[in-house]
Structure 1
Amino acid sequence: MKKRCERSFFQQGAWQKYVWRALPAVISASVCDTLLIVLAVAGVSVIVQQLPMFKAVMMAGGFLFLLYMGWVTWNSRPKTSQDEKHTFTAKKQAVFAAAVSLLNPHAILDTIGVIGTSSLQYSGLEKWLFMAACIAVSWIWFSSLAIAGRLFQTMDTSGRLMVIVNKCSAAVMWAAAGYFGVSLFCN
C-alpha cells in the first residue's frame, strides 16, 4: 500500500527475539494509518486538491524525506536479534512508528492521493466498506512485515541478505524521491 519506511517494521520484527515484541511498532503504525485513511475518505483529499501549494510543499517534503531515509537505509548495517542494545523499547518503537507514519509527507500524499481520491467513486455503505477494507489491509500489511522480518532473520543469521534488502529498499526510496522531484518541476 504505502512505501512508508516499511523497512523499520520489517527490521523491528527481525531484531526482536519474539515477533510479538514488535507489536508496539505494528499497532502504532496501524493506528496512524487508520487515522490517515479515515481523514482521506472523510474528504480531506477533496480539500487538498483545491490547494496546489499544499501539494507542492508535501511533494518537496516527501522528496527530502525519501532522500534522507534512502541514505540512512543504504548505510545501515544489519544487527542480530540477540543484540539487545539495538532493539527498541516498546515506547521507542511506538513513537518512532508514529513519527515515520505521521511526519512522512510521502505517506500523507499517498493516503490522500490514492485512497482519498479512490474513495470518491463510492457513496453510502460502499464508501464505508472501502474504508474498512483499506484499514484492514493496512493492519495486515504492518503485521506481515514484522512477521516477515522475524522469519527473514531466522533464515539469515549472518546478516548478508539484510544488507541486500537494505540496498534494494534504499533504491526504491530514491526512485520514489526522483518521481517526486520530477513531479515537482514538471507540473
Structure 2
Amino acid sequence: MTEAIIHGWILALGLILPLGVQNVFVFNQGALQPRWIRSLPAVLTASLCDTLLITLAVAGISIVVLNVAWVKWSLFTAGFFFLLYMGWNIWRSSPDPGSDTGTGPLPPARQVGFALSVSLLNPHAILDTIGVIGTSSLQYDGAERIAFTLTCVAVSWIWFFGLSIAGALIRSLDGGGIWLRRVNRLSALIIWGVAVWIGRELVIEIISS
C-alpha cells in the first residue's frame, strides 16, 4: 500500500509540474482575479477534469484513446487550434481587473468553460495521464490500485489550489502589473510551444497512416 501511494505521488507530481496549459490558466486566474476566491471556478473545474481523466485512465480507457486512430486525430486537431486561440488570448490579456480582453479575470461561467477546454482539449496532458498513469496502475490490484489512484487525484487538487494561491500572491506583490504582463507573454509562448508539438505529432500521425 505504501509503495503504491509513494509511486502515485511521485508520478503525478512529475506529470503535473511542467508548465502546461492547465497550469498557465489556473495560475493566471489566481493572479488576475481581484480576490483569490474568485479563481475557484477555474481551480475546481481543472481539478475535477484531472480526477475524471485519472479515473478513466486507471479504468482502462487508455486502450481506446491510444489505439483508435480517428480518436487521436480528432483530439490532436481540436487541441492544436484551441491552443493557438488560447495563446493569442493570453498574449493580449491585461492584468487590469476591469479589462474584458482574452483570458483576463474571467467571470465564473467563462472560467469553467475555458478550464474544461484546456483540460479536455489538451492532447499532451491527456496522453500523459492516460498513457503513463493508466499504464502504471496496471501493476496494482484492489486496495493498492485505489490508493494509487486517490494519491494521483490528491496531488492534482493540491497542485491547482497551490498554483492559484501563488498567482494571487504574485499579484499582491506586483502593484503596477509589470510582472503579470510578462507572465502573460511567457504563458502564451508556452501554450504556442505546446501547440507546435501537437501540430508536429499530428503531421507524424498523418504521414505514418
Structure 1 length normalisation: TM-score?
0.84
> Deviations 1:122-178 (Å, cap 9, x if unpaired)?
333332222111111110111011101100101111111112111211121122112
- Whichever residue aligns with residue 92 of structure 2, its letter is N
1:185 paired residue number: 203
On the 8 A contact 1:24/1:93 being kept in 2, the answer is yes
Distance 1:104 1:175 in 2: 13
Match of 1:48 in 2: 65
Match of residue 12, structure 1, among 12, 29, 37: 29
Q: Secondary structure at the match of 1:140?
A: helix
> Which residue pairs with 1:27 in the alignment?
44
Q: Which residue of 1 aligns with 2:9?
A: none
Comparing 171-180 with 87-96, greater Cα deviation is found at 87-96
Indicate the residue corresponding to 2:160 in structure 1.
142
TM-score, scaled to structure 2: 0.76
Amino acid at match of 2:36: V
Query: Cα–Cα, structure 1 residues 47 and 31, in superposed 2: closer, same or farther, change >3 Å?
Result: same
For 1:15 and 1:119, the matched residues in 2 are separated by: 37
Shift in Å at residue 72 of structure 1? 1.7
- For structure 1, the 5+ residue unaligned runs are none
Question: Which residue of structure 2 aligns with residue 169 of structure 1?
Answer: 187
Question: 5+ residue gaps in structure 2?
Answer: 1-15
Identity over aligned pairs, percent: 49
Give CA-to-partner distance per residue, 1:88-143, whole Å, 9 cap, x none. Answer: 44444334433443344444334323322332343333322221111111101110
Name the CA shift for 1:172/1:4 in 2 (closer, same or farther; >3 Å).
closer
* Deviation at residue 13 of structure 1 after TM alignment: 1.6
Question: In structure 2, what residue type is equivalent to 1:172?
Answer: I
Query: Cα–Cα, structure 1 residues 95 and 177, in superposed 2: closer, same or farther, change >3 Å?
Result: closer
Amino acid across the alignment from 2:66: Q
Number of residue pairs matched? 185
